[in-house]
Every structure is written in C-alpha cells, then in structure tokens.
Amino acid sequence: MSRLLLAAAFVLFTLPVQADNGYPHAGTNVMATGHSFKALWDKLEKAIGDNKMGLVSRASASFGASRRKVTIAGNAVFGVYRNDFAVRMLKASVPAGIEAPLRFYLTENADGTATLTYRSPSAVFKPYGSADLDAMAKELDAIFAAIAAQATAP
C-alpha cells in the first residue's frame, strides 16, 4: 500500500504545473497591437491623460532588471484612477479599496510588438455586491475601454 501511495504522490508532484489555468479570466481584455513596447507605453500614458484619469502608479520588472544589466521582455503595470471615483468607491465599499488603482498591463511579444491587457472595472468590483459600486464600475468600464482603444489604435 505504501508503494502505491508513494507512486501516486510521485505522479502528482511531477505533473507540469500550469499557473495560467483559466486565463484570461472573466472580464479580462487582451488587445494585441502592432506597436512596440515603448510606443504602446507612450500611447497609454497619453490616453490616460486624454481621458481625464490619473496615472497613480507604474511598475516595470523589465526596467528594474535592466538596471541590474539583466534583459527580459518588456512588461509594465500602470495603476490608473481618479480621486472622485476613489471617494465613491469607498462610500460604496471600504473593502473594495484594495482594488484601487485599477491596472493596465503592457507586455512585449517575441516579435517586438506589444499587448495591452486590463480587467474591466465591472469584473474587478463585481464580487463586492454593491449596486452603487456596480454603477460606478460601469462608468469606469467606458473610460477604460476608451483609454485602451486610443492606446491600441494604429
């Protein structure tokens, strides 16, 4: 019996692990572009401002790695929000505050193009079960879709 358990454990622990099961998750928008990573970065920054949202955070593992003289494909997370939405969000649900800022994710593809990914605000806030939060998220859906459309346009 112990050999059978050992064999079963061996099989289970040696199976390949797939961290991206179910990706893209519900509400995730993945937009391939013909833009380079840098061009998409610049277009996204402009689109955020043009749509009257704030770029409140930015993190890039590829830029950090380059400072250590390590080269990896470009990637960056842009945190986007605006204070009037933050106030409304917190009024509707304090626990939902962990979701702010909402994010756009830029990734560089092997062919030199870049992809823009974001979860729709409605998908992000849906688990909180608040009608006021859902109404606000629908407004943000339109803004985020406009930002993404502008950033990915030719």
| Domain chopping of the chain, boundaries | 27-152
Q: Look up residue 33 and give its two tokens.
A: 């572009």
Choices 2.40.30.10, 3.20.20.70, 3.30.310.70, 3.40.960.10: CATH for 27-152? 3.30.310.70
Pairing mode, if any, of strands 102-108 and 54-59? unpaired
Report the greatest alpha carbon distance in the chain. Answer: 67
Determine if the pTM surpasses 0.95: no
CA R_g for the chain: 19
Number of H helices, E strands in the chain: 6, 5
Question: If you average pLDDT over every residue of the chain, what do you get?
Answer: 90
Q: What is the pLDDT of residue 138?
A: 98
Q: Look up residue 4 and give its two tokens.
A: 């059978």
As a whole number of angstroms, the distance between CA 73 and CA 54 comes to 26
Lowest mean pLDDT among 12-21, 26-35, 55-64, 137-146: 12-21
Pairing mode, if any, of strands 114-119 and 102-108? antiparallel
As a whole number of angstroms, the distance between CA 72 and CA 41 comes to 16
Which is more confident, 35 or 20? Answer: 35
